[in-house]
Structure 1
Amino acid sequence: MKYRFHGQLLATVFIALTSLAQAAPELLFSAAPDWVEVLPPVVSKRPAQGSVRVHLSNSQIRHWGKEQQYYFQVIMEPLNQQGVNEIAELNFSFYPAFQKLLVHDISIQRDGERLNRLKEDAFKLFQSEQELSSKLYSEQWNALYILEDIRPGDIIRYTYTIDGSNPIFARNDFGRLYLSWPQAVDRRFVKVISDKKLNYRFNHHTVPVSETRHQGNFAYTLDLRDVAGVLAESEYPYWHDPLNYFQYSGYDTWAEVNKWALELYQVDRSLPAALEKTLDSWRAQLGLEGAVSKAIEYVQEDIRYFGIELGINSHQPRTPQETLQKRYGDCKDKTLLLTSMLAHLGVESYPALVSSSRGRDIGRDIPSPETFNHVINLIILNDREYWVDATASGQGINIEHKGFFDYELALPIAEHTQSLKAMEPSSEKVASLSARIEEQFEIDAAENSAQLHVRSHFTHLKAEQVRQFFLSADSEQIKSSYTNFIAGYYPGVNANPEILYKDSLQENQLEVSEHYQISEFAQRHSARKIFSLYGSAIVPYLSKPQRPIRKTPLALAHPVDVLQSATVRIRGELLWQEELDTISIDNPWFTFTRRAKRLKNGLEVKYAFKSKTDHVEQQDVPQYLVQFKQLDTALQYKFWAKSEASLERSNSQEMKNLIKSLIRK
Structure 2
Amino acid sequence: MKAGMRRSLFLLILLLVSTIFANAAEYRTGPAPAWVEPIAVDTARKAPGGQSSGEWNILSDVQSRIEKNGRVNYYHFANKALDAEGVRSVADISFVFDPSYEQLTIHAIRIIRGGKVIDKLASAKISVLQRETELEYRIYDGSKTVSVVLDDLRVGDVVEYAYSRRGVNPVFGNRIAGGAELQWSVPVGQASVRLMVPIGRTVATQLMNSTLQPRVREFDGYRDYRWSQQDVPALKVDGDAPANYNPYARVRWSEFADWRSVVDWGLPLYRLNGQVDPALNAAIEGIRRTAATPEARVRAVLQLAQSDIRYLGVEVGTGSHAPTAPSTVFQRRFGDCKDKALLVVAMLRELNVKAAPALVNTERREAIADVLPAPQVFNHVVVRATLNGRHYWLDPTMSPQGGDLEHLVQSDFGLALVLDEGEAGLVKMAGKEGRSRKQVHAVFDGTGGPEQPMRYTITTVSQGAAADSLRDQIARKGVADLQSQFLNYYARRYPEIKSAAPLRHVDDVKHNLFTTVESYEIPDFWKRRTQDNRREAYIRSSEIRSELNAPDFLNRTAPLATNYPREIEEITEVKLSGKWGLKPEAVEIKDAAFEFTHKKERGEGDVKYRLVDHLRWLKPQVEPDEVREHAANLKKAYNEVGITLYLDDAPAAAARPSARTTHEQIQAESDKARQAQQRSQLVQISILLAIWGVLAFLCWRSPETHRPLNWYLTGQLVWISFVLWVLFAGFNNTWKTQTLGLIIVFFGSSALLARSDRAPVTHWQYAHANPAAMDSMTLGVRYLVKTLSALPSLVLILCAGYYVKALAS
The aligned runs of 1:188-587 (5 Å cut-off) are 188-195=191-198, 196-273=201-278, 275-276=280-281, 278-285=283-290, 286-425=292-431, 428-429=433-434, 432-443=435-446, 444-447=448-451, 449-494=453-498, 497-525=501-529, 526=531, 527-542=533-548, 544-574=550-580, 580-587=584-591
In 2, the alpha carbon distance for the partners of 1:395 and 1:424 equals 16
Give the stretch that moved more between structures: 490-499 or 292-301. Answer: 490-499
Residue aligned with 1:242, SS: coil
In 1, the alpha carbon distance for the partners of 2:656 and 2:461 equals 43
TM-score between both structures, scaled by the size of structure 1: 0.89
- How many residues are matched? 627
Q: Give the superposition deviation at 1:412.
A: 0.2
2:601 to 579, 597, 617: 597
Correspondence for 1:9: none
Correspondence for 2:101: 98
Correspondence for 1:164: 167
The answer to whether the 8 Å contact 1:307/1:330 transfers is: yes
Deviations, residues 354-408 of structure 1 (Å, cap 9, x unaligned): 0012101101011111100110001111211111101112212512111123200
In 1, the alpha carbon distance for the partners of 2:64 and 2:80 equals 25
Question: Structure 2 vs 1, CA of residues 154 and 441 (structure 1 numbering), >3 Å: closer, same or farther?
Answer: same
In 1, the alpha carbon distance for the partners of 2:633 and 2:652 equals 40
Is 1:49 equivalent to 2:36 in the alignment?
A: no
In 1, the alpha carbon distance for the partners of 2:52 and 2:503 equals 51
Question: Structure 2 vs 1, CA of residues 113 and 377 (structure 1 numbering), >3 Å: closer, same or farther?
Answer: same
1:622 to 610, 625, 628: 628
Correspondence for 2:134: 131
Residue aligned with 2:38, SS: coil
In 1, the alpha carbon distance for the partners of 2:237 and 2:654 equals 62
Structure 2 unpaired stretches of 5+: 1-21, 661-809
In 2, the alpha carbon distance for the partners of 1:644 and 1:442 equals 21
The answer to whether the 8 Å contact 2:299/2:404 transfers is: yes
Deviations, residues 626-657 of structure 1 (Å, cap 9, x unaligned): 11111121122222245787647889xx9xxx
In 1, the alpha carbon distance for the partners of 2:191 and 2:318 equals 34
Give the stretch that moved more between structures: 127-136 or 454-463. Answer: 127-136
Correspondence for 2:79: 76
Give the stretch that moved more between structures: 37-46 or 202-211. Answer: 37-46
Q: Give the superposition deviation at 1:121.
A: 6.0
Residue 86 of structure 1 aligns to which amino acid in structure 2? Answer: S
In 1, the alpha carbon distance for the partners of 2:65 and 2:387 equals 46
Q: Give the superposition deviation at 1:217.
A: 1.9
Q: Give the superposition deviation at 1:275.
A: 4.2
The answer to whether the 8 Å contact 2:548/2:635 transfers is: no
In 2, the alpha carbon distance for the partners of 1:65 and 1:644 equals 94
Q: Give the superposition deviation at 1:174.
A: 1.1
| Max Rg structure | 2
The aligned runs of 1:110-189 (5 Å cut-off) are 110-119=113-122, 122-189=125-192
Residue 506 of structure 2 aligns to which amino acid in structure 1? Answer: K
Residue 372 of structure 2 aligns to which amino acid in structure 1? Answer: I
In 1, the alpha carbon distance for the partners of 2:52 and 2:588 equals 47
Q: Give the superposition deviation at 1:200.
A: 1.8
Q: Give the superposition deviation at 1:281.
A: 5.0
The answer to whether the 8 Å contact 1:411/1:419 transfers is: yes
In 2, the alpha carbon distance for the partners of 1:453 and 1:127 equals 53
Question: Structure 2 vs 1, CA of residues 647 and 47 (structure 1 numbering), >3 Å: closer, same or farther?
Answer: closer
Q: Give the superposition deviation at 1:417.
A: 1.1
Residue aligned with 1:428, SS: coil
In 1, the alpha carbon distance for the partners of 2:524 and 2:353 equals 60
Give the stretch that moved more between structures: 181-190 or 287-296. Answer: 287-296
Residue 33 of structure 1 aligns to which amino acid in structure 2? Answer: P
Q: Give the superposition deviation at 1:569.
A: 0.7
The answer to whether the 8 Å contact 1:573/1:644 transfers is: no
Deviations, residues 280-334 of structure 1 (Å, cap 9, x unaligned): 4544542222122111211121111111112222111111111111011111111
In 2, the alpha carbon distance for the partners of 1:340 and 1:23 equals 42
Residue aligned with 1:401, SS: coil
In 2, the alpha carbon distance for the partners of 1:559 and 1:488 equals 26
The answer to whether the 8 Å contact 2:433/2:565 transfers is: no
Residue 245 of structure 1 aligns to which amino acid in structure 2? Answer: R
The answer to whether the 8 Å contact 2:548/2:638 transfers is: no
Question: Structure 2 vs 1, CA of residues 34 and 595 (structure 1 numbering), >3 Å: closer, same or farther?
Answer: same
Give the stretch that moved more between structures: 393-402 or 332-341. Answer: 393-402
Q: Give the superposition deviation at 1:268.
A: 2.7
In 2, the alpha carbon distance for the partners of 1:544 and 1:405 equals 29
Question: Structure 2 vs 1, CA of residues 39 and 275 (structure 1 numbering), >3 Å: closer, same or farther?
Answer: closer
Q: Give the superposition deviation at 1:591.
A: 0.6
Q: Give the superposition deviation at 1:548.
A: 2.0
Structure 1 unpaired stretches of 5+: 1-21, 655-665
In 1, the alpha carbon distance for the partners of 2:445 and 2:390 equals 48
Correspondence for 1:26: 26
The answer to whether the 8 Å contact 1:455/1:514 transfers is: yes
In 1, the alpha carbon distance for the partners of 2:24 and 2:127 equals 14
Question: Structure 2 vs 1, CA of residues 33 and 497 (structure 1 numbering), >3 Å: closer, same or farther?
Answer: farther
In 2, the alpha carbon distance for the partners of 1:295 and 1:646 equals 70
Residue aligned with 2:108, SS: strand
Deviations, residues 412-439 of structure 1 (Å, cap 9, x unaligned): 00111111111124x833xx21000111
In 1, the alpha carbon distance for the partners of 2:481 and 2:281 equals 42
Question: Structure 2 vs 1, CA of residues 382 and 395 (structure 1 numbering), >3 Å: closer, same or farther?
Answer: same
Deviations, residues 44-98 of structure 1 (Å, cap 9, x unaligned): 5755425322221101111123412111111221222222232221121111222
Residue aligned with 1:582, SS: strand
In 2, the alpha carbon distance for the partners of 1:440 and 1:645 equals 29
Residue 150 of structure 1 aligns to which amino acid in structure 2? Answer: L
Give the stretch that moved more between structures: 180-189 or 45-54. Answer: 45-54
Question: Structure 2 vs 1, CA of residues 583 and 274 (structure 1 numbering), >3 Å: closer, same or farther?
Answer: same
Residue 154 of structure 2 aligns to which amino acid in structure 1? Answer: R
Task: Decide which structure has greater strand share.
Answer: 1
Residue aligned with 2:422, SS: coil
Question: Structure 2 vs 1, CA of residues 50 and 463 (structure 1 numbering), >3 Å: closer, same or farther?
Answer: farther
Residue aligned with 1:631, SS: helix
Question: Structure 2 vs 1, CA of residues 598 and 110 (structure 1 numbering), >3 Å: closer, same or farther?
Answer: same
Residue aligned with 2:344, SS: helix
Question: Structure 2 vs 1, CA of residues 441 and 63 (structure 1 numbering), >3 Å: closer, same or farther?
Answer: same
Question: Structure 2 vs 1, CA of residues 102 and 608 (structure 1 numbering), >3 Å: closer, same or farther?
Answer: same
Q: State percent identity of aligned pairs.
A: 26
